Chain A
Amino acid sequence: MELDDFQKCWQANDARLDEVIRLNHRLLRATELEGTRTAMARVRVSLGFELVMGLVSLVALGAFIAANVHELRFVVPALLLHGVALVLTAISGRQWLQVGSLDYAAPITQLQTGVESLRLSTVRTTQWVLWLSPLLWTPLLIVGLRGVAGVDAWRALGTGYLAANVLFGLVFLALMVVGSRWLTKRPTGAAWLQRLAHAVAGTNLNVAREQLARLAAFEESPRGAGK
């Protein structure tokens, strides 16, 4: 088959397609279309929810710090949580704005670079949240008990117990990282476990980076062009 024949064959099929395909107008009523959320719109709603939750936690932690400002044993863990909440809220806000600025009518390389950068950012954030979770459990326990039930965890549970929790968190984190790397190399276990392992190990970071590199390479003229 010769080159022009590719196009002739493809375009001849267009006329045929016009005859055999039709739109289902009943499903394309304005109300139906207005009620449909695209994938990115759903991502934006979810990021908006994260942003609101982040702001709520910032206000709550701020109030806690103000109420316990003279008690260092409560202020330090609360400040730690406040710092993490601040960073996560800022990231959610940035991602929320990023999703809103994505224009699907933009040139493909431009839009796909935006989508992939967003993916890279969300995968990286998820990985950090998973890594920090075992370490943040202890400060969360101290602040939560004090803030919700008025209980002083240092006295009720003892410094030794809290220190053991921090140590356990460190060991758990190390096991989690090693275990996730082991699991990602062996496609066994439930699908959710595999997804979690990939999120902890950060394998999806490499996938997103590779796609960004492919997009950049596609924008460049191939080597040896014109030879």
Chain B
Amino acid sequence: MAEPDRHSRFLALLEAHRRILYKVARVYGGPGVEADDLVQETIAQLWQSFPRYDERLKFSTWMYRVALNVAISFQRREGTRKRHLAPESQEMLEVARDVEGPPSEDLALLYQSIARLDDLSKALAMLYLDGHGHADISEVLGISTANVSTRIGRLKDRLRADMKSLSTDTTKET
């Protein structure tokens, strides 16, 4: 594929799946991990890996693999060095400020519950919540479908318990 074509196709696919970038950055960002830096690193890695993108795989599945791999590595790298492709005042992924907050209390609780999980379970939770099938999740994580089923069962229990406890804490605070 010619360079301009490849770039246009990359942008079109990135545009169509931009919410993955946001969600991964939101879940894996936090203390010591700048969400903007994570988005930049993810886009750079996606672009670098794009020539090897296997069209037999759904783009969202492929993108999740790259984005989650970058996020987990990024989170684990010691002393994350700030690196800006763009000037600090500009972001690759812009969020309308007036509607940036979570739309519901439930979603905020869900994000809080996910934040309590380890880095691999966070990936499982995101893929499950996005509605990916067990086979898809198995391809992204590199574990068997039977393992995916078992882990999703446990994840649901964990999320249910965590959300209940978080919800109780919130009620007490108010």
Spell out A's residues near B (CB within 8 Å).
1, 3, 5-7, 9-14, 16-25, 27-28, 30, 32-33, 36-41, 103-112, 115, 195, 204, 211, 214-215, 218-222, 225-226
In whole angstroms, how far apart are the Cα atoms of A125 and B118 in the complex?
28
Q: Which residue of B lies closest to A22 (CB)?
A: B94
- What's the least CB distance linking B101 to chain A, in Å? 10
Q: Which residue of A lies closest to B67 (CB)?
A: A104
B11 interfacial contact with A, CB 8 Å: yes
B44 interfacial contact with A, CB 8 Å: yes
Which 7 residue pairs spanning A and B have beta carbons closest together? A107-B142, A10-B129, A109-B142, A225-B150, A36-B44, A17-B19, A30-B7
Interface size class of B (residues with CB under 8 A): 35 or more
The answer to whether A20 and B100 have CB atoms under 8 Å apart is yes
The answer to whether B130 and A10 have CB atoms under 8 Å apart is yes
A14 cross-chain contacts in B, Cβ below 8 A: 19, 130
The answer to whether A108 and B11 have CB atoms under 8 Å apart is no
A22 cross-chain contacts in B, Cβ below 8 A: 18, 93-94
The answer to whether A28 and B91 have CB atoms under 8 Å apart is no
In whole angstroms, how far apart are the Cα atoms of A7 and B118 in the complex?
20
A27 cross-chain contacts in B, Cβ below 8 A: 85-86, 90, 92
Which label, helix, strand, loop or mixed, suits the secondary structure of the A interface?
A: helix
The answer to whether B95 and A222 have CB atoms under 8 Å apart is no
Q: Which residue of A lies closest to B128 (CB)?
A: A7
B66 interfacial contact with A, CB 8 Å: yes
Known A-B contacts: A9-B106, A104-B69. Give 12 more (CB < 8 A).
A1-B106, A7-B131, A11-B129, A19-B99, A21-B19, A21-B94, A24-B90, A27-B86, A36-B47, A105-B53, A108-B69, A109-B141
Known A104-B49, A105-B62, A220-B147: A110·B142 in contact at CB below 8 Å: yes
B74 cross-chain contacts in A, Cβ below 8 A: 39
A-contact bits for B133-174, CB 8 A (1 contact / 0 none): 000000111111011001100101001100100000000000
The answer to whether A25 and B85 have CB atoms under 8 Å apart is no
B72 cross-chain contacts in A, Cβ below 8 A: 108, 112
Ordered by A's residue number, 14 sampled pairs between the chains whose C-beta atoms are within 8 Å are A1-B109, A6-B110, A13-B102, A20-B100, A21-B94, A21-B95, A23-B93, A25-B11, A33-B7, A104-B48, A105-B53, A109-B120, A109-B141, A219-B143
In whole angstroms, how far apart are the Cα atoms of A27 and B43 in the complex?
11
The answer to whether B43 and A33 have CB atoms under 8 Å apart is yes
In whole angstroms, how far apart are the Cα atoms of A22 and B19 in the complex?
9
The answer to whether A37 and B150 have CB atoms under 8 Å apart is no
B107 interfacial contact with A, CB 8 Å: yes
Known A9-B106, A17-B19: A108·B68 in contact at CB below 8 Å: yes
In whole angstroms, how far apart are the Cα atoms of A24 and B87 in the complex?
12
The answer to whether B65 and A24 have CB atoms under 8 Å apart is no
The answer to whether A108 and B140 have CB atoms under 8 Å apart is yes
